Structure 1
Amino acid sequence: MQSRCHVVPCGMNLEECYRILELSQGASLAQVKSAYRRLARRYHPDVNPGDRTAHEKFILLQQAYEKLVQVLPTFRPTPIPSEPQTPPPQTPPPPSAFDIELKHASYRQLQEFLKYRCYQRAISLVEGLASRLPQDAEVRQWQAVTYQCWARQLIRDRQPQAAREYLHRALKVDPDNRQLWQEVEKDFRTLDRLYGKAI
């Protein structure tokens, strides 16, 4: 089956990230966020139904944004020492409407990637989404399932060591998912049967 993955791999360099976001190199984190919001609204799949080019541009924007956010420093002033205080409990803010839209669009793209076995791109997409929505249980579940799908492909490709690593990652991401544990245990048994336990 011919692959339908047209999006540029996430190993893009910083110059490409700035270009995708229509920014000059050295733009600040605030400028990156502003450009991302503006362009994401323009190329969002819900705004451009059926437009494959806009859909791919939206995914590229997300990948470029996630990479720049990870590498650009954020300035946090050093607090003035004072009397020790018990920090208030931190409640994560509810997701914004934009984050909810992004999540739904990412899920549709993830399904497409998994359907056509574009596992590396699926992993890049779901890891970026998990870093943006770290408290979202559904996103963690998608991440675990993606790792498991990739592990099964690695089993088929006769790469048992890498397969074991991604199965462990799946359990670590979503440790309370009983159904996932049952499925992953089956995968471990398959690995033991095909390659033995000493891998």
Structure 2
Amino acid sequence: MGLADHYRTLGLRTGASFDDVKAAYRKLARKYHPDVNPDDQRSQDRFIKVTKAYEALLEVFQPEEEAENSASAAEKSAAEPPSPVQKNPGLSDHEQKLKQDSYRQLELLLKQQKYPRAIALVEGLAQRITQDLEVRQWQAITYQRWGRQLINQGQLSKARIYLDKALKTDPLNKSLWVEINRDFQAIEERLK
């Protein structure tokens, strides 16, 4: 899809300002979010499409230096990155492609430390592909990384919420438990 298609997806004319893109995305994301439309598959698909269009347009507006700086900072993160996409025989070709495309977007968002957008993407994907364990792992890792960022920002109670969500999302991931245990210790140290 070209840039013009992304603008159209958000209901904008080509060349709209960053503020217009941001406002249009927020309006559409609220309208089509899976939490607002839990049983409407069309709305969930539309939410993913709108999110992808917004992310593609953000790359146009974001200066290259900022992207490089945030990517190098993300590489210093101690949490493990999501694993590469595994072929799941239980998924249709459409779902497999959606999963692969979403993984690439998720990887980029995590490198750029855009955690709220990464969470929105992975939650939408988890709503669409409910039985895929790998998607659940990505979701848990994204929650954990956002929790760690919140610790660094001093938002400790909010960090606990996301760390708990990570554990509930992927309770059998031992390496995740180790990382989250470290994060909880960091919270305790800050509270002293």
Query: Do these two structures clear the TM 0.5 threshold for a shared fold by scoring above it?
Result: yes
Secondary structure at the residue paired with 1:117? coil
Alignment deviations for residues 57-100 of structure 1 (CA, whole Å, 9 cap, x no partner): 7xxxxxxxxxxxxxxxxxxxxxxxxxxxxxxxxxxx92110100
Partners of 2:168 and 2:187 in 1: CA distance? 19
CA distance 1:189–1:131, change in 2 (3 Å)? same
Gaps of 5+ in 1: 1-6, 18-28, 46-52, 58-92
CA distance 1:15–1:160, change in 2 (3 Å)? closer
Partners of 2:173 and 2:148 in 1: CA distance? 18
Q: Does 1:159 align with 2:155?
A: yes
Higher helix share: 2
Q: How large is the RMSD of aligned CA atoms in angstroms?
A: 3.3
**Structure 1-normalised TM-score?**
0.56
Match of 2:27 in 1: 12
Match of 1:109 in 2: 105
Alignment deviations for residues 152-192 of structure 1 (CA, whole Å, 9 cap, x no partner): 11011100000011000000000011110011001000110
May I ask how many residue pairs the two structures share in their alignment? 130
The aligned amino acid for 2:180 is: V
Whose Rg is larger? 1
What are the residue-to-residue correspondences of 1:137-152 with 2, within 5 Å? Answer: 137-152=133-148
Q: Does 1:175 align with 2:171?
A: yes
Gaps of 5+ in 2: 1-20, 33-39, 58-88
Match of 1:194 in 2: 190
**Structure 2-normalised TM-score?**
0.58
2:119 pairs with one of 119, 123, 126: 123
**Runs of 4+ with >2 A deviation:** 7-17, 53-57
The aligned amino acid for 2:56 is: E
Partners of 1:181 and 1:14 in 2: CA distance? 32
